[in-house]
Structure 1
């Protein structure tokens, strides 16, 4: 049965949650569902969705008490005749939860991509237990934490692992020419402290002692870029930084080794992408990563914060 589904994601940047939202939109659309996407202005996700032919609706989503957005979400659900509202970020979930009284017969679902912060548990309790019909957890590690913090029974927060659009992942890749020269080890992801890029940079001198031809690549955006560039200064042209990529799979496909040095991850979509591209993978043994990567089989798991 074809459904009308409104996906919401307030994040403007690029990350695993945004990639997952885009993949859900593409795959459900191909399966005959009527998909619409609500985003903030100038979001990476909105631009990618428009290129994929998915209808995009711009919403303010300014903060958790943005009552204009509450009304606009309710109006959009009514105008589209949406059967399901599927949220992917905190702010849009809180706003859709407040608007739910306007569309009580429409199912409200949240895909949880990050660990629940205990200091926000009251907000999450209101948004999820009173407004959301299902809190979809992307790993067992996340489900266990959500059950504890939110006091939810397992049937209210089922585990549904993130999938991968293999048709897209296995399409011919446009690998940048510089990646075809040399041996590149790299991290693709947001420049945030929790992503742990600094630990790969700390390990770089020892790697270069054994493999002097190695080059290191860091692709993404975020507030840690400047400090990472300063940390890499002594390594000279053996380290390269790239900004936000329209198709990060082109970068991953060109790496000799993909690294996920995160301090915490609920799932790690980039690990799944690296495996699909048959790239050797080294990842931290944290959070939900061991549920994605089988140590010694599909990748190598290492302790976090241990360069």
Structure 2
């Protein structure tokens, strides 16, 4: 790569595309770390707080890409990632990759497919730039508190350059292997969550029907071997009737779909993932699409 951008935050322009539940907080942490923040979002009003704090708005993706040394994306679905990076159908010049500066780094933090991450990295390299796939775990709380787990695919030199930006957003940060490895690691994460959150919902339904104080149950078992984010945080939200999205059901369905497709491609049979996927699809079909993942509890207690 050539024209390596300066490492000092104030002289490094970082673009951020996708200011949703998590993206807005993540961009804010980058800005607070002293980087010159540039933003683009389909809904401009979501950028207001960042703009008020000094961020630069761009009406188009090409304009942002041409202005930035590093570009972070946090969008919804693989189809969104494809369009953001490769441009609209028949218009590749509207995407990030056609407009990357030599030496720039594109960092996709969306949970997407490993194969797409590999394509993005190869195309960026062909332009004298670089790309990392860096999906995250931790939900809205992790994004707000800058405690996200960040799993990265790419080369060591690019990872080292970008590490200070990652450190502004997260705590557990690791290079997992070449392009696509970050996405594969996220599929491992989502497979663990799929079975775990279903178990939490079923266990709390059991506690309710057995006449136990669910909050007391959470206090006791949350300090033992069953403890963890899904039980201690989302279990509490289930008991309190708080089903607001920290992570949308429809996005979780997308992730489980990617994991299931990758498992099939690799010849793996993952019945727990398949069951959770069916349960969540039923919940989405019954109106739970926009709930947080803890909303599955409503369907379990209803029967």
TM-score normalised to the size of structure 2?
0.44
Higher strand share: 1
